[in-house]
Amino acid sequence: MKKRIFVTATNTNIGKTYTSLRLLEEYASRGLKVGAIKLVETGVVDGLYPDGELLLKKMQELNPLLGEFRVEDVVPISYELPAAPYIASQGKALDFDVLNRAIEKMEKYCDVLILEGAGGLFVPVDGNFMMIDLIQFFSATGLLVTHCSLGCINDTLLSLQSLQSRNIDAAMAFNCREEDSDFAQISEPFFLHNDIEVLKVDEDIDTICDVLYNF
């Protein structure tokens, strides 16, 4: 089985897709064949996949073997309503056969496969599964993407505790944006004082990739 990395986050709009794109670029720069699957995407209207299209374009740029893949190969399950999959699907059970077929198809051409979740760890996928359940189900290493704005201490610790309580192998990355210039003053000191490594998506992507690959 190839290396699988499941990109999740502390909430929605934290930067999962941005981080996935950076991971693809870094692993490809090391000579590895890369691919990505957004397992479930909501908010897909008129055939437009906001995250899926970005992932497809990037992975085809980096891995010519995926030139014939379509956005439906990257996003095997999609819904129109921009809500949690459980809501968007009206409670429909997640079709794991569809997801497994999509993964198997892409892994034929990959050394590293990025699996991107939707929303945060406890977004309901269907009546039985939360997003956090899919990390171990797909035998992946987790990457928790967190933010750098006020409130990140609480959000980050809650998500880390959830991953650790389930013995999920996971790294963590901070996606700091331009407006987060005060992170070093208001939040980062807490993490450093408590020996929580602060790896930033834009500054430390090489280290993040090393940590994930060596789990």
CATH number at residue 165: 3.40.50.300
Residues of the domain holding 132:
3-213
Structural domain total, the chain: 1
Q: What does the pLDDT read at residue 13?
A: 94
CB 34 within 8 A of CB 115: no
Q: Residue 153 is which amino acid?
A: I
Q: Which of 3, 16, 33, 38 is catalytic?
A: 38
Nearest to 116 by CA among 3, 5, 2: 5
Whether 57 is a known active-site residue: answer no
Report the alpha-carbon distance of residue 124 to residue 210 in Å, rounded: 30
Query: What is the pLDDT tens value at each position of the chain, 215 positions in all?
Result: 689 999 999 999 999 999 999 999 999 999 999 999 999 999 999 999 999 999 999 999 999 999 999 999 999 999 999 999 999 999 999 999 999 999 999 999 999 999 999 999 999 999 999 999 999 999 999 999 999 999 999 999 999 999 999 999 999 999 999 999 999 999 999 999 999 999 999 999 999 999 999 99
Q: What does the pLDDT read at residue 1?
A: 62
